[in-house]
Amino acid sequence: MKAYYTSGTVGDAYIILCKVYSVAKKEKILCRHYTKYESLRPIIKDIYSLIPSIGVEFINERSSDVELIGAFHYQGKEREKNRYNLEPEYYPEFELGNINHFNLPKSYVTLQIKSGTHGENSQSLSMDIIKKILDDSKLPVVIIGEKTIDLPPGNFSMLDLRGNTTIKEVINIIKNSKHYYGLPGFLSFVAVSHKIMSDVHITFPKHINAMKARTEAVKEWREFLIKR
């Protein structure tokens, strides 16, 4: 069984999944994953399990071997390519199951208010932006992700599913939406990798370079990005 040393948080794991996708669709592989956030291990495991042939082993220290990184453009890109010779799949397909129990509107857009499940990378849309998206949308808005704040008052056409979806369900909801509004991170990667036009709001300066190394780094994702 082929083994890969991997590292990072939730969004990183999804990009790594895209990198190993073609191999994992043919044979069983093992990802030996390092993250300093132990609380994220269950979510990261769920992301890798989108392809059943991927096994996960969490390690407590980073490997001295070449790691697969959750980015498409970075300093060690050539070392990674020479070590593993992987061709990413930018539009992966998964067995996601049924989402009929949510009684979703026939046509809808998705909105993610908060991104980042760990301290320093946690980010949220401002109340003004949330209200504008809800006010301006011509389609019902399905709100996804974590439930951390109250919604602005108003008579909006929306369905609040925050905190009520599995990884497979939220991917399926985004995949079947007409548009995604949100923040840099895992769910924005899901959106562009399923060819969903995405308004992504940058709230921290450090996320500018993070976007350049990920969503903006490859034309297959960049063409579905509207950077705010």
pLDDT higher than 70, residue 214: yes
Between the CA atoms of 31, 36, 39 and 41, what dihedral angle is there, to the nearest 10 degrees?
0
Q: How many domains does the chain have?
A: 2
- Hey, CA dihedral for 70, 72, 76, 79, is it positive or negative? positive
Q: Is residue 106 part of a domain?
A: yes
Report the distance separating Cα 133 and Cα 155, nearest Å: 13
CATH number at residue 166: 3.40.50.2000
Q: What would the mean pLDDT of 58-81 be, rounded to a whole number?
A: 88
Q: Which of 167, 113, 115, 106 has its CA nearest to residue 139? A: 106
Claim to verify: residue 124 and residue 181 sit in the same structural domain: yes
Report the distance separating Cα 114 and Cα 112, nearest Å: 6
Q: Is residue 130 part of a domain?
A: yes
Q: Is residue 91 part of a domain?
A: no
Claim to verify: residue 219 and residue 134 sit in the same structural domain: yes
3-class state of residue 143 by DSSP: strand
Claim to verify: residue 61 and residue 123 sit in the same structural domain: no
Tell me the sheet residues that pair with 19.
Answer: none
Give the domain extent around 201. Answer: 100-227
pLDDT per residue as tens digits for the range 152-204: 888 899 999 999 999 999 999 999 999 999 999 999 999 999 999 999 998 87
Q: Is residue 90 part of a domain?
A: no
Report the distance separating Cα 101 and Cα 109, nearest Å: 18
pLDDT higher than 90, residue 77: no
pLDDT higher than 60, residue 118: no
Domain boundary (84, 116, 139) is at 84
Claim to verify: residue 137 and residue 188 sit in the same structural domain: yes
Q: Is residue 94 part of a domain?
A: no
Claim to verify: residue 152 and residue 205 sit in the same structural domain: yes
Domain boundary (54, 84, 114) is at 84
Q: Is residue 92 part of a domain?
A: no
Contact 211, 184 (CB under 8 A): yes
Report the distance separating Cα 49 and Cα 64, nearest Å: 25
Instruction: Give the ranges where the chain is alpha helix by DSSP (H).
Output: 10-24, 41-48, 77-84, 127-136, 167-175, 186-193, 206-213, 219-222
Claim to verify: residue 202 and residue 150 sit in the same structural domain: yes
Claim to verify: residue 111 and residue 62 sit in the same structural domain: no
Q: Is residue 139 part of a domain?
A: yes
